[in-house]
Amino acid sequence: MTGRIILLRHGQTFSNIDRIMDTRPPGAELTERGRGQAEDVGRELAELCEGRRVRFMCSIALRAQQTAMLAARTYAEAADECDVPVEVRVGLHEVFAGEHEMSGSEDTHREYMVALRGWLDGDAAARMPGGEGYADVLERYQPVLEDIARELGDDDDVIVVSHGAAIRVVTTHACSVDPDFAYTGYMPNCRFTLMEPQGQPFGQWTLKRWADTEV
């Protein structure tokens, strides 16, 4: 066996329902459906991670913290464990949308899709007006994952609750994923990527799962 890092998108939020670009923490909270998604994925992860040492981390955003706490609780119940720790870490929040923050317009969504393609392609100029580029995201996100990777034992799984675009961008660059695959590979609420660092540098990690697709 080998240590694994799982990047899990948070559950559904009220901003998700309204299709609003809500990227700045603390952000919206989970809907009732989102809470149920978090509880369900905790049970799913208990099966996926059976027999392994598991801990949870999450971004500072409210939705990520709520998802992590709910998933960790149902994980612990399903795995018959007393306590599964949850650690909040800076740097794991969503790609900042800049001037489009809290907008749900069609122009916003068009500009987001153009920027997303650039982030996945490694285009340093790609960003929403006033927002982050992919290098900005990696600058804050990559060191956290590298710290996790350095400490991973062969039987360890670290579940990081984060955000859809950030997960797609970071996984793509960590595992050298085909940008076409990453662009069309939507990450629904409470779905995840699964990576195996295997002692390799960031950029040469192995992708084993993307949402519901085994790679």
Is the pLDDT at 27 greater than 90, yes or no?
A: yes
List all residues 6 or more positions away from 31 whose beta carbon is below 8 Å from its beta carbon.
11, 12, 13, 14, 16, 17
Query: Residues 36, 93: contact at Cβ < 8 Å?
Result: no
pTM above 0.95, yes or no: yes
Structure tokens at 110: 């068009």
pLDDT in tens, 83-131: 898 999 999 999 999 999 999 999 999 999 999 999 999 999 999 999 9
Reading phi first (left if > 0) and then psi (alpha if -120 to 50, else beta), residue 9 is in beta
pLDDT in tens, 177-199: 999 999 999 999 999 999 999 99
pLDDT of residue 82: 83
Determine the residue type at 42: G
Report residue 38's pLDDT band, with 50, 70 and 90 as the boundaries. Answer: very high
Query: Residues 28, 63: contact at Cβ < 8 Å?
Result: yes
> Where exactly are the structural domains of the chain?
4-95+138-214
Query: Residues 23, 95: contact at Cβ < 8 Å?
Result: yes
Give the whole-angstrom CA distance, residue 80 versus residue 43: 11
pLDDT of residue 83: 82
Q: Which helix (H) or strand (E) holds 160?
A: strand 156-162
Which superfamily, per CATH, for 4-95+138-214? Phosphoglycerate mutase-like (3.40.50.1240)
The closest alpha carbon to 194, from 159, 151, 146, 156, belongs to 159
Token look-up 């970071």 returns 170
